[in-house]
C-alpha cells in the first residue's frame, strides 16, 4: 500500500480552525479523510503490552532540551522538564536523545550517559516517578533514547560528522567532500558494544526501557538508507538493518530487567538510493515495505512498543505552520498543513497494521493544536495507532493529559502554536523549550541564542560601512581595525577575522565578554547615528573568538629560533597574560608569577559568573601549545613581598614587568556585617557564599559596586541601596551597568555620603550612617567636590554593607618594590607615558599604573609594555 505522492498542493494556510466542524470542512475542501472522534475516554485506562503496562495512552516524546551539565548529566532544566511531564499525567515518558559517546553528541550540552553521569540520571528517574506518584498515584513508564548523532555530531560546537554513506543530497548541506571518510564496519561493531554498555547504565539508573534511536537521519537511521554502502552494514535490507536488529537483540540478552525498542523513521523523503521507505522511482511517494518488514522483525524480538516518525524534524521559524519533514534535505514544500498531518497519520497506520499486536505511537499532530485529541481518538479507535505522542506540544503544554481527562478538551491558550522557536534555539545552540508558553524561562534563552546566531550576525555585519577612518576603531582602547575583522567575518573567513583582532588585542574573547562596547567601539559606530542601532561589534567579536578557539586557530606559535632572553611577569591578569603572549611570540622565555591558583586575574576571580565565567578556556587555548616547549613557566601562589622578592627576580631575568592588580580595598570602618566588595564577589565566585540578608547597602558608584549590587539582588536581597556621594551623572559605572542594576530592582541614593556604621552592643551592624551632600567647587578630578550638609545625618537600616570605594595596591606589595617610584595615590609611576619605571629593566602595566580601567585597556597596556621590553632586550 502506498500513500499519494507529495506535491505542492494548495498554498500554506495559517491555523484558523475553531472546532471539529471547521476541521471536517477543511478536510472535505482538500479531499482528505481523517477519523474525528471526541470521545476522550479513548485515552484513559491502562494499556498492557508484553510485561509492560502503560498507565494511559499519553506519551511525552523525546524532545531535547540541550541543558546537560559538563559531564553530560541532566541539568536543572532537565529535571524541571521531566517533573512537568510527570505532573501533567503522561503515562509513558520517552527520555530525550542521550549520547552514548562524547563524539556522538549533536551539541556540547546534549545529555550523555556515562559512568560519571549515571547517578544524576538515577536521581532524575527517581524524582520523576516520585512526582507522578504524589500527583496521580502511579508510576509512568520511562524509556531513554540512546543515540549517535552521526552526520549531525557536534560535540564541541564544531561539526564533526560521522557518516555511514555518501549522499548527493545531504553531503553538500554538511560541506562534506566526496572523499570524506565513511565510518568503518569495525567502528560500528564497537558501537554495538557501546550501545549495550549504555543500556546497562540506563538499567542501573532505573529506566524501564531503552530506545536505539533510528530516526531523523542520525547514524543508525542513516544505516537504514545505506543502499550504496559496501560491507556488512550496507546494501541489502538484511545488512542495512543489521545494526539496529543485532544491537536490540544483544540488549535483550545482556541487559536483564529492561526492555528495548526504537524510534524509527518510516519515511525519509529523500530520493533512492539515499532514502529509506521511499519509492525507488519517485521519492515523493512513501513505500512502507521495508519499514513494515523491520517493524515485524522487531516484533519478533519482543518489543512492547514502537515509536514511529518520518523525515527530519526541522521547522521553518518564519511561518505559522509545522513541517513534519524536509524534502531532499532542502526547504520544505509549501502546502496546506493538513496534507502533512494526513501523510504522517497514514504512514503510521501502515506500520501499526503490520504489527497490530504491538502498540505504535501516533505523532505529528502539533498543527492541530486543541483538536489533537479529537483526531488521535479517531485514529486509535480505527486501528491507526495505539498511543498518542506529544512532541513540541509537550514542551508547550506539559499538563495536556490532565486537562484532556478532566475537561474533555485541550485549552487553546496553552497549545503549541508551531512557531518553531524551540527549534530555532536548538539551531542557535541554546537551551531548548517552548518560548511562547514557557516564556519566563525560554524567552530569555531564545533572545540570547538569537543574539549570537551566526545567520543574524552575518546579516548585521553587512551593515558595516567600512569607514576609511573608522570611528569605531578610535573608540577601542586597543585600536582594533573593526571594519576589517567584521568584513572578514561576513566573508566567512574566520582565520583572517581572528588574526585582525589578535593583531591589536591578544585576548579578544575576554574583552568581548566584559568590556563596555556600548560606549567604546559600538558607541562610536556611525550606524548608531544613521539608524539608531550600531553594528553588533561585540557579538561578532565573540562569535569569531569562539569559532577560532573551536577550530584551534588560537594557539600561540613560537619563532623557530628563540632569543635566549628571559622575562619575569609579576601578575597573571589581563595585562600580564597579554604581555606574556606578545613576548613569547617575539621569542623570549617568560615566567609568570601569579598569587592565585590560576591565571586570569580580576575578571576570573571577581566579575560575576553571569557576566564572565572562565578566562581559563581562552588562555589555555592560546598558551597551551607552548606548554611543552620550555618557553613558559607559571608559578602560582607567588606574592610579591611575601613568597617572592623583587631583587631575586631581577637577578634571574633580563627584564621584569610588574602587572599586579589592585587587591586592597578602601574602607570607612569595620563592623560585623561589613565586607569589602572584592572579598564579597570572590566568595560568591568561589561558591563560598550563597545568601545575603534582606537589606543591603553597597558603597560606591563604579563597576565593582554595580556588580556587587546586582549579585546581592540575584542572591535574594529584598532591597539593595547603592550609596554614592556625588550626582547620578558623575557615577563612574558605565550607563548599561547602572541601567541593569535599576532594572533588577536596585535603589541608587546619590548625593549621599557614607560616614560610619551603627552597631548593637555585640558590634553587629544595624545600620549605615549617612549624610546628605551638595556639589561644591571642582576638586583635582575636575568634578564638583561633594560637600556634606550640616545636621543632615541619618541612619539607613541595613543588615549587610558591601564597601566598593575603590582599590589600591596592597601596602605590603608597595613596600616590596625596592625603590621603584610611586605616586601619592599609591600607584607605580612610569616615564613619559611609557611602560618604563624608575628602575632600569623594570616595566609596569595595567591597573598598578592606571588605578583600574577597562580590561581591553589593560590588555593594550600589556601589549605595549611587551613591545617596549622587546626593544629594550634587543639593545641590551
- Which has the higher per-residue pLDDT, 870 or 428? 870
Cβ density class 599-616: b for 16+ within 10 Å, e for less: bbbbbbbbbbeeebeebe
Q: How far, CA to CA in Å, does 271 sit from each of 9, 239, 327, 351, 761?
A: 20, 20, 9, 21, 84
Residue 321 in this model has a pLDDT that exceeds 50: no
- pLDDT at position 655: 96
Check: CB of residue 427 under 8 Å from CB of residue 452: no
For 3-43, the pLDDT digits (tens) are 544 444 555 677 889 999 999 999 999 999 999 999 999 99
Beta strands in 313-446 (DSSP E): 360-362, 387-390
Does residue 312 have a pLDDT over 80? no
**Helix ranges, 553-701 (H):** 574-585, 602-605, 616-623, 646-652, 677-685
pLDDT band for position 866 (cuts 50, 70, 90):
very high
The vertex-672 CA angle with 670 and 674, nearest 5°, equals: 60
Q: Which helix (DSSP H) or strand (DSSP E) does residue 794 occupy?
A: strand 794-797
**Which three three-digit cell numbers place residue 127?**
524524582
Per-residue pLDDT at 370 exceeds 70: yes
Residue 188, pLDDT > 80, answer yes
Burial code of 554-570, b = ≥16 C-beta within 10 A, e = fewer? bebebeeeebebbbbbb
C-alpha cell at 73: 548529566
pLDDT for res 298: 98
Give the residue among 356, 561, 536, 355 at the shortest CA–CA distance from 460: 536
Residue 59: strand pairing partners = 92, 389
**pTM, whole model, 2 decimals?**
0.82
CB neighbours of 822 closer than 8 A, spacing ≥ 6?
Answer: 809, 814, 828, 829
Q: Kindly report, residue by residue over 611-647, the tens digit of the pLDDT.
A: 766 667 888 999 988 877 789 999 999 989 889 999 8
- The pLDDT, as a whole number, for residue 498 is 96
Mean of pLDDT over the chain: 92
CA-CA distance, 629 to 584, in Å (whole number)? 11
C-alpha cell at 701: 558608584
Q: How many CB atoms lie within 10 A of CB 103?
A: 14
Cell 620550555 belongs to 630
**626 vs 437 pLDDT, higher one:** 437
User: Residue written as cell 531523523?
Assistant: 216
Q: What is the pLDDT of residue 58?
A: 98
Residue 223: its pLDDT value, please? 98
Nearest to 644 by CA among 664, 660, 629: 660
Q: What is the pLDDT of residues 85-99, one digit of tens each?
A: 999 999 999 999 999
pLDDT in tens, 467-501: 999 999 999 999 999 999 999 999 999 999 999 99
Q: What is the pLDDT of residue 1?
A: 35
User: What percent of the chain shows pLDDT beyond 70?
Assistant: 95
For residue 313, pLDDT over 80 is answered with: no
- pLDDT single digits (tens) 193-225: 999 999 999 999 999 999 999 999 999 999 999
What pLDDT shows up at residue 78? 97
The residue written with cell numbers 545552540 in the block is 429
Distance CA 39, CA 687 (A): 54
* Residue 523 contacts residue 582 (beta carbons within 8 Å): no
> CB neighbours of 479 closer than 8 A, spacing ≥ 6?
473, 504, 860
pLDDT of 604 over the 90 cut: no
Answer whether residue 465 shows pLDDT above 90: yes
- Residue-by-residue DSSP string for 683-730: HHHTTS-----SEEEEE--SHHHHHHHHHHHHTT-SEEEEE-SS-GGG
pLDDT of the residue at 324 = 41
Tell me the pLDDT band of 589, cut-offs 50, 70 and 90.
very high
pLDDT (mean) for 809-821: 86
What's the pLDDT at 334? 64
Query: Which pLDDT score, from 0 to 100, does residue 617 have?
Result: 83
| Four-CA torsion 745, 716, 66, 74, nearest 10 degrees | -170
Q: Is the pLDDT of residue 2 over 50?
A: no
- Among 239-248, 406-415, 543-552, 582-591, which is the least confidently predicted range? 543-552
For the residues 543-564, what does the mean pLDDT come to?
92
pLDDT at 76 over 60: yes
* C-alpha to C-alpha distance for 165 and 220, rounded to whole angstroms: 11
With vertex at residue 38, the alpha carbon angle to CA 32 and CA 43, rounded to the nearest 5 degrees, is 110
Q: Is 541's pLDDT higher than 70?
A: yes
Compute CA 416 distance to the chain's CA centroid, rounded to the nearest angstrom: 24
Structure confidence at residue 311 (pLDDT): 85
Q: Give the model's pLDDT for residue 227.
A: 98
Amino acid at each position: 500500500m502506498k500513500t499519494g505522492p507529495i506535491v505542492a498542493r494548495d498554498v500554506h494556510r495559517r491555523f484558523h480552525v475553531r472546532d471539529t466542524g471547521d476541521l471536517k470542512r477543511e478536510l472535505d475542501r482538500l479531499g482528505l479523510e481523517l477519523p474525528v472522534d471526541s470521545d476522550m475516554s479513548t485515552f484513559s485506562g491502562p494499556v498492557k503490552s508484553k510485561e509492560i503496562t502503560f498507565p494511559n495512552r499519553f506519551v511525552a516524546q523525546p524532545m531535547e532540551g540541550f541543558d546537560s551539565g559538563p559531564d553530560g548529566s541532566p541539568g536543572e532544566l532537565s529535571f524541571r522538564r521531566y517533573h512537568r511531564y510527570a505532573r501533567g499525567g503522561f503515562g509513558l515518558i520517552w527520555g530525550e536523545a542521550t549520547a552514548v559517546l562524547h563524539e556522538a553528541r549533536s551539541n556540547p550540552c546534549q545529555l550523555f550517559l556515562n559512568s560519571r553521569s549515571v547517578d544524576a540520571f538515577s536521581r532524575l528517574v527517581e524524582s520523576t516517578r516520585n512526582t507522578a506518584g504524589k500527583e496521580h498515584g502511579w508510576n509512568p513508564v520511562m524509556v531513554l533514547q540512546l543515540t549517535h548523532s552521526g552526520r549531525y555530531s557536534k560535540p564541541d560546537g564544531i561539526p564533526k560528522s560521522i557518516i555511514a554513506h555518501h549522499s548527493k543530497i545531504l553531503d553538500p548541506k554538511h560541506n562534506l567532500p566526496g572523499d570524506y571518510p565513511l565510518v568503518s564496519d569495525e567502528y560500528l561493531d564497537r558501537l554495538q558494544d557501546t550501545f549495550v554498555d549504555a543500556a546497562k547504565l540506563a538499567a542501573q539508573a532505573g529506566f524501564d526501557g531503552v530506545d536505539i534511536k533510528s530516526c531523523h537521519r542520525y547514524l543508525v537511521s542513516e544505516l537504514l538508507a545505506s543502499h550504496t554502502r559496501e560491507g556488512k552494514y550496507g546494501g541489502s535490507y538484511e545488512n542495512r538493518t543489521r545494526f539496529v536488529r543485532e544491537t536490540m537483540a544483544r540488549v535483550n540478552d545482556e541487559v536483564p530487567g529492561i526492555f528495548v525498542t526504537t524510534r524509527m523513521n518510516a519515511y525519509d523523503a529523500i530520493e533512492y538510493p539515499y532514502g529509506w521507505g521511499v519509492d525507488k522511482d519517485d521519492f515523493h511517494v512513501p513505500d512502507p515495505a521495508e519499514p513494515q518488514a523491520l517493524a515485524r522483525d522487531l516484533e519478533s524480538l519482543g518489543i512492547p512498543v514502537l515509536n514511529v516518525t518520518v523525515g527530519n524534524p526541522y521547522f521553518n521559524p518564519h511561518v505559522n505552520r509545522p513541517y513534519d519533514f524536509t524534502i531532499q534535505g532542502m526547504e520544505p514544500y509549501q502546502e496546506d498543513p493538513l496534507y502533512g498531518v494526513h501523510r504522517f497519520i497514514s504512514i503510521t497506520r501502515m506500520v501499526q497494521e503490520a504489527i497490530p499486536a504491538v502498540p505504535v505511537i501516533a505523532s505529528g499532530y502539533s498543527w492541530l493544536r486543541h483538536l489533537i485529541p479529537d483526531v488521535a481518538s479517531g485514529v486509535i479507535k480505527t486501528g491507526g495507532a495505539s498511543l498518542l505522542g506529544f512532541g513540541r506540544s509537550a514542551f508547550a503544554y506539559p499538563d495536556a493529559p490532565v486537562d484532556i481527562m478532566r475537561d474533555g478538551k485541550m485549552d487553546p491558550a496553552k497549545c503549541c502554536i508551531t512557531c518553531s522557536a524551540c527549534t530555532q534555539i536548538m539551531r542557535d545552540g541554546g537551551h531548548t523549550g517552548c518560548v511562547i508558553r514557557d516564556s519566563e524561562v525560554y524567552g530569555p534563552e531564545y533572545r540570547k541564542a538569537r543574539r549570537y546566531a551566526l545567520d543574524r550576525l552575518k546579516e548585521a555585519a553587512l551593515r558595516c560601512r567600512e569607514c576609511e577612518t573608522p570611528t569605531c576603531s578610535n573608540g577601542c582602547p586597543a585600536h582594533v581595525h573593526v571594519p576589517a575583522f567584521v568584513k572578514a567575518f561576513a566573508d566567512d573567513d574566520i582565520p583572517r577575522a581572528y588574526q585582525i583582532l589578535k593583531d591589536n588585542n591578544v585576548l579578544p574573547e575576554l574583552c568581548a565578554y566584559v568590556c563596555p562596547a556600548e560606549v567604546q567601539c559600538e558607541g562610536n559606530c556611525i550606524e548608531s547615528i544613521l539608524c539608531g542601532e550600531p553594528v553588533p561589534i561585540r557579538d561578532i567579536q565573540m562569535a569569531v573568538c569562539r569559532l577560532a578557539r573551536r577550530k584551534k586557530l588560537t594557539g600561540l606559535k613560537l619563532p623557530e629560533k628563540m632569543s635566549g632572553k628571559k622575562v619575569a611577569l609579576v601578575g597573571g591578569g589581563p595585562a600580564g597574560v597579554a604581555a606574556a603572549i606578545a613576548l613569547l611570540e617575539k621569542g623570549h622565555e617568560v615566567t609568570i608569577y601569579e598569587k592565585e591558583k590560576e591565571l586570569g586575574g580580576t575578571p576570573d576571580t571577581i566579575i560575576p559568573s553571569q557576566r564572565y565565567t572562565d578566562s581559563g578556556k581562552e588562555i589555555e587555548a592560546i598558551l597551551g601549545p607552548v606548554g611543552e616547549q620550555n618557553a613558559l613557566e607559571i608559578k602560582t601562589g607567588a606574592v610579591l613581598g611575601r613568597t617572592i622578592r623583587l631583587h631575586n627576580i631581577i637577578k634571574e631575568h633580563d627584564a621584569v614587568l610588574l602587572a599586579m592588580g589592585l587587591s586592597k580595598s578602601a574602607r570607612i570602618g569595620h563592623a560585623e556585617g561589613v565586607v569589602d566588595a572584592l572579598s564579597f564577589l570572590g566568595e560568591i565566585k568561589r561558591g563560598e557564599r550563597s545568601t545575603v540578608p534582606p537589606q543591603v547597602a553597597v558603597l560606591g558608584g563604579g563597576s565593582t559596586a554595580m556588580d556587587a549590587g546586582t549579585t546581592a539582588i540575584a542572591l535574594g536581597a529584598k532591597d539593595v541601596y547603592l550609596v554614592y556621594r556625588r550626582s547620578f551623572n558623575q557615577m563612574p559605572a558605565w550607563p548599561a551597568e547602572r541601567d541593569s542594576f535599576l532594572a533588577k530592582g536596585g535603589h541608587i541614593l546619590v548625593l549621599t555620603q557614607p560616614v560610619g556604621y551603627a552597631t548593637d552592643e555585640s558590634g553587629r551592624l544595624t545600620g549605615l550612617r549617612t549624610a546628605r551632600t551638595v556639589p561644591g567647587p571642582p576638586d583635582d578630578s575636575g568634578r564638583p567636590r561633594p560637600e556634606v550638609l550640616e545636621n543632615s545625618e541619618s541612619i539607613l537600616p541595613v543588615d549587610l554593607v558591601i564597601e566598593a570605594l575603590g582599590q589600591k595596591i596592597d601596602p605590603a606589595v608597595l613596600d616590596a618594590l625596592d625603590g621603584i617610584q610611586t605616586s601619592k595615590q599609591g600607584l607605580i609611576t612610569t616615564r613619559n607615558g611609557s611602560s618604563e619605571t624608575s628602575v632600569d629593566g623594570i616595566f609596569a602595566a595595567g591597573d598598578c599604573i592606571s588605578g583600574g580601567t577597562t580590561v581591553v585597556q589593560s590588555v593594550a597596556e600589556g601589549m605595549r609594555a611587551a613591545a617596549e621590553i622587546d626593544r629594550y632586550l634587543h639593545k641590551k
